[in-house]
Structure 1
């Protein structure tokens, strides 16, 4: 996620902090300082840090449970509204998805139980209503906020935890795509409710949550539809085949000329045998022009990209595209020559074509690109 930076790695997952989280800490510190001076400001910041430690524990409930089903989690990003664990995929079996979804709230319930039964925190209605007040006992507030996190995440607003449980239950009767679309519509409807309540109550955080839930529900539904479509297609049905490659001796200046005379935004760099060396993106090209000039070898600014066989299924290529930071996936023929490549943009175009009228599966005979002179 952009505007975030790593701070730690736990159980193989990178913990990242979004810059807006630091703004939240600053805002809490200032607000508490105005209420009770420096001691209150320190306590307020410590409470927020403790709260987000519980959020990280919540996310690791999902992470470690998903790992039981062979699903990795590259990173977890902390935002002002909570944490976002980027799982490689969600389990497609309804039972497994329910277990993974409920694991997070279960961690918060366990933390609250420990704080109440072992550490003696006393949680009552006042603690629940005044979580932000420094006058309420620290442990009581922390226990109350964990109960709140568990209950809030169980609201069936897809793609929150409760929404994922709803999707899994619907998937017992409907296809996964239909279940996702239905759960997404419920999530979008609840997002409107959150936004309306936030406007009436003057709560900007609730409005922000509403926007996040609405956009996330829409994106999740689109992603599920994409996976469903891609299972019936091969990479040859979606790859870009008309492109101008660059040779290994090309410079940034050569690429800039091609950028002006073609519609390409990225340029594969291939050797004399047509095998791909890497990909030069428009962003990397402009950066190199500004930093080292047009004489810079294109090889120095390229990025390596994963490759898939020409006759492989499209869903596997999309998984490679979504699972890493590469801007494209190369498609190679039996001799290892570049036959085409896939980008998020042309995958999006495929989805628009499918939505407009469908795309019949077809078989292409790959001849490879024109080799650079």
Structure 2
């Protein structure tokens, strides 16, 4: 995700913070600080029991809330990893967190349980913090007790709010998983996405007339997320029926791991290529990209070998699905991947090749069956 920087790695999952989080943090600190003041006034608490400035407590509470959101997202991710899924990263945003799960666990049951893991974790955290609040009865610091009460309440709200069937929120993902067995994944996503857009409209109206700009932002993200995921699932359904051999270019041009970047730059210019497969001993060991060449100062390109900047890649075969190829390119941010058969380079496939194949397959399916590629009375096999 653009505009995010990494702060940690847990079980191989990069944890990132988006710049929008830093923008909303002072606002939340002020908002929570005001809550501390209001609660103290309502409880008629004497000044000597108010230890520390309310804004500092508000800032601490805002950070604690986002740590709770991180734990919520880790619950999703750890369940996905346990059931054979793949997680690219977790990013904290101004409206919460996002786990980028690049490969879902197999089967709608595991998808539903993975979606439920986050809200259940938030509810458990809420119960824990409220329990600590009760245990602190009689403590001298009003601020400390109120912080645990407020944090517990926020976590319970977070858990319940995420259970709303507003796809792609957690409740919407559970709904999609329940519908998949009857409708198939494409139509289930279409239905859940339509319901999610309805909730987005409701959130938007409530935010507009209630003056809640955070709810307006949530409405925007829910609407755009429902649209994007519906499109992605349709794309996955189409590309899983296309093999790399139907899209690849039988191009075997490559560079050696011992070539200099200066030689690579010349080859890229003459062949109009943004990436080239790298061979070592006749076997593909990675790719070298235009971006890697450009990052190296021109005077040094003659001294730097390709092996020093080559990016390792998983080998595609002609029988790999186009979706898997696109997924790997997106995950590694590569413009193309080599295609290998029996240990030999037989071609390359680019994102443009795959998108062209997608457009042609959509055209073919729309001519035969309609816009969703399913004829009257037909049902997609659930995955």
| TM-score bucket of the superposed structures, by smaller chain | 0.7 to 0.9
Q: State which drifts further: 178-187 or 9-18.
A: 9-18
Cα deviation for residue 198 of structure 1 reads: 3.0
1:346 aligns with one of 344, 350, 353: 353
Task: Kindly state the Cα deviation for residue 209 of structure 1 after the two structures are TM-superposed.
Answer: 1.9
Answer yes or no: is the 8 Å Cα contact 1:306–1:326 preserved in 2.
no
Assess, with a 3 A threshold, how the Cα gap between structure 1 residues 324 and 70 changes in structure 2: closer, same or farther.
Answer: same
Please give the alpha-carbon distance, in whole angstroms, between the structure 1 residues aligned to 2:170 and 2:346.
Answer: 42
Aligned pair count reads 346
Give 1:163 shift. Answer: 0.9
**Partner Cα distance (1:291, 1:16) in 2:** 35
Q: Indicate conservation of the 8 Å contact 1:81/1:209, yes or no.
A: yes
Instruction: Give how far 1:220 is off.
Output: 1.9
Where 2:194 maps in the other structure, the secondary structure is helix
Question: TM-score when scaled to structure 1?
Answer: 0.79
SS of 1:87's partner is strand
Q: Distance in 2 between matches of 1:291 and 1:51?
A: 50
**3-state SS, counterpart of residue 185 of structure 1:** helix
* SS class of match (2:103): coil
State whether structure 2 residue 358 is matched by structure 1 residue 355: no
1:112-127 paired onto structure 2 within 5 Å:
112-120=126-134
Query: Taking structure 1 as reference, are residues 135 and 96 closer, same or farther at Cα in structure 2, changes over 3 Å only?
Result: closer
Unaligned runs of 5+ in 1: 123-133, 360-373
Question: Cα RMSD over matched residues?
Answer: 3.4
**What residue is the counterpart of 1:179 in the other structure?**
188
What whole-Å deviation, never above 9, does each CA across 1:69-97 have from its counterpart, x for those lacking one?
Answer: 22243432211111112223223422222
CA contact (8 A) 1:28 1:41 kept: no
CA contact (8 A) 2:3 2:18 kept: yes
In structure 2, relative to structure 1, the CA distance for the partners of 1:282 and 1:190 (3 Å cut) is farther
Structure 2, unaligned runs of 5 or more: 38-50, 137-142, 367-383
Q: Which moved more, 1:244-253 or 1:208-217?
A: 244-253
Q: C-alpha distance in 2, partners of 1:200/1:143?
A: 28
C-alpha change, 1:34 and 1:70, in structure 2 (3 Å) is closer
Matched, 1:49 2:63: yes
After superposing the two structures, state which structure 1 stretch, 79-88 or 276-285, moved more. Answer: 276-285
Larger relative contact order (Cα-Cα within 8 Å, sequence gap ≥ 6): 2
Change over 3 Å in CA distance of 1:254–1:208 after alignment to 2: farther
SS at match of 1:173: helix
Q: TM-score, length-normalised on structure 2?
A: 0.77
SS at match of 2:165: coil
> What is residue 8 of structure 2 aligned with on the other side?
8
Secondary structure of 1:91's aligned partner = coil
CA offsets 1:207-234 (integer angstroms, 9 cap, x no match) = 3222322332233223322332233222
Partner residue in 2 for 1:366? none
Question: Which deviations, in whole Å up to 9, do the C-alpha atoms of 1:316-367 show, x marking residues without a partner?
Answer: 4345445545554321021x222223344433332222222259xxxxxxxx
Offset from partner CA, 1:31-90 (integer Å, 9 cap, x none)? 778997971221111101111121122122222333442224343221111111222322
Residues 277, 135 of structure 1: CA spacing in aligned structure 2 closer, same or farther, 3 A cutoff? Answer: closer
Distance 1:173 1:10 in 2: 37
Give the whole-Å Cα distance in 2 for the aligned partners of 1:118 and 1:197: 33
The answer to whether the 8 Å contact 1:121/1:143 transfers is no
Q: Distance in 1 between matches of 2:114 and 2:33?
A: 40
- Inter-partner Cα distance in structure 1 for 2:156 and 2:127: 9
